[in-house]
Amino acid sequence: QITLKESAVALVNPTETLTLTCTFSGFSLTAGVGVGWIRQPPGKALEWLALIYWDDGKRYSPSLQKRLIINKDTSKKQVVLTMANMDPVDTATYYCAHTVGSSNGGWGPKWFDPWGQGTLVTVFS
Amino acid sequence: QSALTQPASVSGSPGQSITISCTGSSSDVGAYNYVSWYQQHSGKAPKLMIYDVTHRPSGVSNRFSGSKSGNTASLSISGLQAEDEADYYCSSYTTDTTMVFGGGTKLTVL
List of chain B residues whose C-beta atoms are within 8 Å of the C-beta of residue A46 = 38, 46, 89, 91, 101, 104
pLDDT single digits (tens) B23-66: 999 999 999 999 999 999 999 999 999 999 999 999 999 999 99
Cβ <8 Å between B101 and A109: no
What is the mean predicted confidence (pLDDT) over A61-90?
A: 97
For residues B40 and B80, give the distance between their C-alpha atoms in angstroms, rounded to a whole number.
16
Closest CA to B67 of B56, B58, B79: B56
- Looking at every residue in chain B, the average pLDDT score rounds to 97
Q: Is the dihedral of CA A27, A23, A4, A42 positive or negative?
A: negative
For residues B7 and B20, give the distance between their C-alpha atoms in angstroms, rounded to a whole number.
7
Better pLDDT: B52 or B1? B52
For residues A53 and A43, give the distance between their C-alpha atoms in angstroms, rounded to a whole number.
30
Q: Is B2 on the interface with A (CB under 8 A)?
A: no
pLDDT single digits (tens) A78-107: 999 999 999 999 999 999 999 998 878 888
Q: Best of A46, A65, A99 to disrupt the B interface by mutation (most B CBs within 10 Å)? A: A46
Which pairing describes strands B9-12 and B105-109: parallel, antiparallel, or unpaired?
parallel
